[in-house]
Amino acid sequence: MTTATQSEFAAILGKDKSYVTRLKQAGRLVLTAEGLVDVQKSRALIDMTADPSRADAVAARQKDQTQQRQSANPGGDTIGTNYQTAKAVNEKYKALTAKAEYEQLIGKLVDAEEARLFATDLAATFRGQMETLWDRLAPEVVALNDIEAIRAVMVEHGEHILNEIADKVAAWGKE
């Protein structure tokens, strides 16, 4: 444990002694029984209780917090390491939720279950059309002996199936 007087601690921080006095009055210093400042614990307490709106302190605090998280939990999850981080995570998820709600409102995002049901219905429609295609084609092409006429009948039925699928897709997009 490294300790220092309040004056020495001010010098370590590169601040005036009055700054350290204000920290002490605010309860943001860790003092030993002898009244000396525990440097490491006091720095940690100052960082954890820093005002997140102070722009000049934000960059330094983020750098220190990142280093602390990496040394304490290398490669691990950083959620909940302190109040500011927890609040930032909360705000991030609120923003992501708002974004998802907006994208759903404008039709850019759809419910996964709804999309799965639509895809299942679309596949069933296609399969049903394909299973009955041969029964519908056979009577029409049996009497034909011209390849171009047979081809025209097959193309017509194929286009009918494709148009039905396309109409379903277009109708779902408008719902």
> What is the per-residue pLDDT across 90-124, written as a single tens digit (0 to 9) for each?
899 999 999 988 988 887 888 889 889 999 999 99
Residue 164 confidence class, pLDDT cut points 50, 70, 90 = very high
Same domain, 10 and 69: yes
Cβ 126 vs Cβ 161: under 8 Å: yes
Same domain, 60 and 120: no
In a domain, residue 7? The reply is yes
Same domain, 14 and 73: yes
Residues 51-61: b if buried by 16+ CB within 10 A, e if exposed: eeeeeeeeeeb
In a domain, residue 128? The reply is yes
Domain final position from 56, 78, 100: 78
Cβ contacts of residue 110 below 8 Å, gap of 6+?
Answer: 104
Structural domain including 72 reads: 3-78
Whole-number CA gyration radius for the chain: 35
Beta bridge partners of 38: 3
User: How many structural domains is the chain composed of?
Assistant: 2
Same domain, 117 and 166: yes
Compare 58 and 64 and report the one with higher pLDDT: 64
Same domain, 8 and 73: yes
In a domain, residue 91? The reply is no
Looking up tokens 């020495």, which residue turns up?
A: 8
Q: Which of 47-61, 66-80, 85-99 has the highest mean pLDDT?
A: 85-99
- Strand, coil or helix: what is 129? helix
Same domain, 64 and 122: no
Q: Mean pLDDT throughout 37-64?
A: 76
In a domain, residue 43? The reply is yes
144 alpha carbon, distance to own chain's centre:
60
